[in-house]
Chains A and B, each alone.
Chain A
Amino acid sequence: MKKKKSLSYAKWGYIFVAPATIAFLIFSLYPILFTAVLGFTDFKGVATTTFHFLKDPFENYKAILSSGLFRKALANTFGMWICNFIPQIGLALLLAAWFTRTHHNLKGQGAFKVLMYMPNIITAATVAILFNALFGYPMGPVNDILVKLGIFAKPVEMLRNKMVARGVIVFIQFWMWYGYTMIVLISGILGISPEIFESAAIDGANGWQTFWKITIPNIRTILLFTLVTSLIGGLQMFDIPRLFQNGNPDNATLTTSLFIYNQAFSGSYMYNRASAASMIMFVIICFFSAIMFYFLRDKDEIAENKIMRRQEKEYRKQLKAQKRMEAGR
């Protein structure tokens, strides 16, 4: 009887996870499989709906992997991500260290945090177009300032320079995300047990030593988490390069997402090649996710075991309660 009861509860578990599972199967898994299949076909052209499998199933993959543009896009994407991530994490760490200091606290921290985080919630599309307008030529605000300050003798069409165009995108990414990273790191640092800091202080460690020897090792997982999520986010960069310069000049700001979009949804609509490129990106992202989960793995298992143990306890309690009730009756 009791056994039956617990079995009937198990049924509810399936019911509760069903909607999300069904939605996932329809809206994620099927599209992924469909994309994967299309990568092996000749499916292209704007008005076509039929496709055939290729004789050489990896033809599209070969085309993408040997594509100079795809490689360039990949290099740009990684390059722009690294250039934004290093200063971003550096500044975020610095600010986090300042904001979590127990002595000589900075005043107005709350307001600073609110303002520094603000760019993160603004629509990326808006930000891209705004920066495009700010760098306008011949008379955009940036040109206006630089000419007024005497740095430029006359307005310069800055965005035609590849490094400037990339630099602005890097800056936008940095500017939109350092506040977020900072807040994440602050919460990580605040999560460290104060006793560790106290004992360090007793041992006579100065601020610098404490930071490197105590703070950093203790927020290792959070740093890793930030790194990987930022990387995966960076690999999907689309709105900003598309609307800022549409990948130009000379594809200097072409990212992989933009490449895939251009392949699939413009020009001659090469869904097949774009699918292959998507799958390549999928593999890259899986690789980085796997690295992260490898490092985070232990922690989760521990948490898992804890829950299991508690549920066991719960279960025993429940049995006891039932017994008591039966006895009472």
Chain B
Amino acid sequence: MKKLALAFACTAMAASVLGMTAMADDNVINVWAFTDEVPGMIEKFKEAHPDFGYEINSTIIATTEGAYQPALDQALMAGGEEAPDIYCAEAAFVLKYTQGDMAPFAAAYKDLGIDVDTLLSEGDIAQYTVDIGTNPDGNLVGLGYQATGGAFIYRRSIAKDVWGTDDPAEIATKIGPGWEKFFEAAAELKEKGYGIVSGDGDIWHAVENSSDAGWIVDGKLHIDPKREEFLDLSKQLKDNGYHNDTQDWQDAWFADMKGEGEKQIFGFFGPAWLINYTLAPNCGGEAVGEGTYGDWAICEPPIGFFWGGTWVLANKDTAKADAVGQIIQWITLDTSEDGLQYKWANGTLNGEGGTKDAVASGTVMAKSDGTLDFLGGQNMFDVFVPANQFANGKNLTQYDETINMYWRDQVREYTAGNKTREEALEGFKQQVSENLGIEAE
């Protein structure tokens, strides 16, 4: 009997020891993000505030495999000392955390000691990021630091070869407005052996966020005509060989940025962050003349759209509300030259000459300079600031990431000729209804 008791005591002890390790230090702030962007910012915040006194423990899980959301959801639900204090959400699923299923976990900014109203108006923060970040009770729970209005980002050398000019104003009239002109341009490019985009994913983001309604209307799956048209646009691209048939975020897509794909690719659709974080690191060089560096320019896209953006939220159960509030305010609402957004817009966060981005604060944008060597000296803000008018939260839903994944997969089946248009639509509706419990209209 003693032995049995001993054995039980041992296991119980082991259990409690293991349980104990769950106890965290009091001065650790847990940050969950899907890129290293926000954790990197917070590191800089700490450098600038040596007496801040908190350690950062960041968890970074990429969204590419759809792994981030389930992990974050469960971490929030599990609660306790190790629960996220600050967490990030992307445009494709932010509504779930600000207004949808997970909204009850988000802390109101004002409860973090942030003077929301004053700072919002002082900073002239883009209204759409405020709308998306406001919960059903009318409290602001999340804000982005970027403005993610989109442009068409193209190769100057190819533009010159095909149209004899690389002037953004002229190229904008070649590829747009509207998809019809875009496809005319695609045909012209094809004659010279170029593809207009890398894959159908490139035009998807433009289609997605220029549509009038989102995937879910009144609790039912709604396929907006503009989104349904994507089937045809994608098919047209594929059948005519206007692209390299790559998938975004896959190797072949990145290879096209370097100009090493099957054929040279003219351009990509994207907001400012695509330039900094995707095109520049994958262009095969770090100075003009290396790879495709410096061979890029941006112009108005055939249709207005926005894509992505990161919203920063705080856990309502955080024990470090003040510290969390300081960080969040610095990232999203501090529009001084010491604030994150100014450094972000001007590429000075990690020292001079860093990557630049369009930010949410109009005040900051007004005093920032978006000139980039990568774009051959073009000031990207000239295009992105007007583009931001297309950014809105009207067609977002909380399940966008998941639904988009299903949609894109079915569209690929259709364009590859494995399914008819009808079958693809059916397959899509089936997945949404069976995996999410959302029926088609």
A interface residues, Cβ below 8 angstroms from B:
15, 19, 44-47, 63, 67-70, 136-139, 154, 157, 160, 162, 246, 248-251, 262-263, 265-270, 273
Contact A19 B4 (CB under 8 A): yes
User: B73 at the A/B interface (Cβ < 8 Å)?
Assistant: yes
Looking at A44, A46, A263, A265, which has the most chain B CB atoms within 10 Å of its CB?
A46
Q: How far is the CA of A263 from the CA of B427 in the complex (A)?
A: 17
A72 to chain B: closest residue by CB: B430
**In the complex, residue of chain A having the shortest beta-carbon distance to the beta carbon of B413:** A250
Residues of A within 8 A of B66 (CB): 246, 266
Which chain A positions have C-beta within 8 A of B412?
160, 249
Which chain B residues numbered 18 to 72 have a C-beta less than 8 Å away from chain A?
65-66, 69-70
B437 touching A268, Cβ below 8 Å = yes
Inter-chain contact A69/B437, CB cutoff 8 Å: no
Distance A136 CA – B255 CA, assembled complex (angstroms): 13
Q: Pick the interface stretch among B101-109, B283-291, B305-313, B317-325.
A: B101-109
A-B contact pairs, 12 of them (CB 8 A): A46-B77, A47-B105, A63-B434, A69-B435, A136-B251, A137-B250, A137-B252, A139-B251, A249-B409, A249-B412, A268-B101, A270-B437
CB distance A250 to B4 under 8 Å?
no
Do the beta carbons of A67 and B101 come within 8 Å of each other? Answer: no
B108: shortest Cβ distance to chain A, in Å?
17
Q: How far is the CA of A249 from the CA of B1 in the complex (A)?
A: 57
Q: How large is the interface on B (under 10, 10 to 19, 20 to 34, 35 or more residues)?
A: 35 or more
Q: Pick from A136, A266, A273: contact of B402, CB below 8 A.
A: A266
Task: Given the known inter-chain contacts A46-B101, A267-B399, please indicate yes or no for A138 contacting B252, CB distance below 8 A.
Answer: yes
Does B119 sit within 8 A of A, measured CB to CB?
Answer: no
Query: Which among B7, B262, B436 is the interface contact of A267 at CB below 8 angstroms?
Result: B436
Q: B residues within 8 A CB of A270?
A: 436-437
For the complex of A and B, the 8 pairs showing the least CB-CB separation, nearest first, are A69-B434, A268-B436, A266-B70, A46-B101, A267-B436, A67-B434, A250-B413, A138-B252
Q: How far is the CB of B144 from chain A (nearest CB, A)?
A: 23
B388 within 8 A of partner (CB): no
Q: How far is the CB of A22 from chain B (nearest CB, A)?
A: 10
Q: Once the chains bind, are A47 and B77 in contact (CB under 8 Å)?
A: yes
Is B13 in contact with chain A by the CB < 8 A criterion? Answer: no
Contact partners of B4 in chain A: CB under 8 A: 15, 19
Interface flag for B418 (CB, 8 Å): yes
A266 to B71: give the CA distance in the assembly, Å: 9
Q: Does B368 lie at the interface of the complex (its beta carbon under 8 Å from any beta carbon of A)?
A: no
Contact A262 B262 (CB under 8 A): no
How far apart are the CA atoms of A138 and B402 in the complex, in Å?
A: 26
Q: What is the CA–CA distance of A265 and B69 in the complex, to the nearest angstrom?
A: 10
- Would you give the shortest CB distance from B121 to chain A, in whole angstroms? 33
Looking at the assembled complex, report how far the CB atom of B306 sits from the nearest CB atom of chain A, in whole angstroms: 24
Give complex CA distance A273, B433 in Å.
12
Q: Is B416 located at the chain interface by the 8 A CB criterion?
A: yes
Shortest Cβ distance from B74 into A: residue: A265
Q: A68-B434, A69-B434 are in contact. Are A250 and B427 (CB under 8 A)?
A: yes
Q: Interface digits, B419-436 against A, CB 8 Å rule (1 contact, 0 not)?
A: 100000001001100111
Q: Tell me the nearest residue of chain A to B435, going by C-beta.
A: A267
Closest CB-CB distance, A27 to chain B, in whole Å? 13
Q: Distance (Å) between the CB of B299 and the closest chain A CB?
A: 29
CA distance in complex: A269, B436 (Å): 8
User: In the complex where A266-B402, A268-B399, A268-B436 touch, is A138 in contact with B255 (Cβ < 8 A)?
Assistant: yes
Complex CA distance for A19 and B69, rounded to whole angstroms:
38
Q: Which residues of B contact A19 (CB under 8 A)?
A: 4, 7-8
Since A69-B431, A160-B416, A246-B65 are in contact, a sample of 15 more A-B pairs with Cβ atoms closer than 8 Å, ordered by chain A residue number, is A47-B104, A68-B434, A138-B251, A138-B255, A139-B251, A157-B245, A249-B413, A250-B418, A250-B427, A251-B431, A262-B435, A265-B70, A266-B69, A270-B437, A273-B437
**In residues 71-116 of chain B, which contact A (Cβ within 8 Å)?**
73-74, 77, 101-102, 104-105
